[in-house]
Amino acid sequence: MLLRDMLLLCVLLLVTGLTVAENETADQGRRWTYSLRCYDCQTINDFTCPTLRTCVYEVRRCLIVSVRKSLRVCSAAFG
């Protein structure tokens, strides 16, 4: 019983320690500077958005990414 409890404690400490070390390493990778450039589209489902602006650095945002696929590429790839 005591051995099982000690093993459980060791596993818990090991998992907790690895999680903390992983988070510290991952946070350093997120500290790079970026300048997000956004297209300001007035029309929905239109790929001709002339207005490109640099977004504010401090504002957190949710991004919507749209992709236009070419029928020629799809027909060549899938026969």
| pLDDT score for 38 | 76
- Average pLDDT of each block of 10 consecutive residues along the chain (79 residues)? 72 60 49 67 74 76 64 56
Which distant-in-sequence residues (6+ apart) come within 8 Å of 64 by Cβ?
none
Distance CA 22, CA 30 (A): 13
Rg (CA), the chain: 24
Q: Per-domain residue ranges for the chain?
A: 2-78
CA distance 19 to 15: 6
pTM above threshold 0.85: no
Stated as kind and residue range, the H or E segment containing 64 is: none
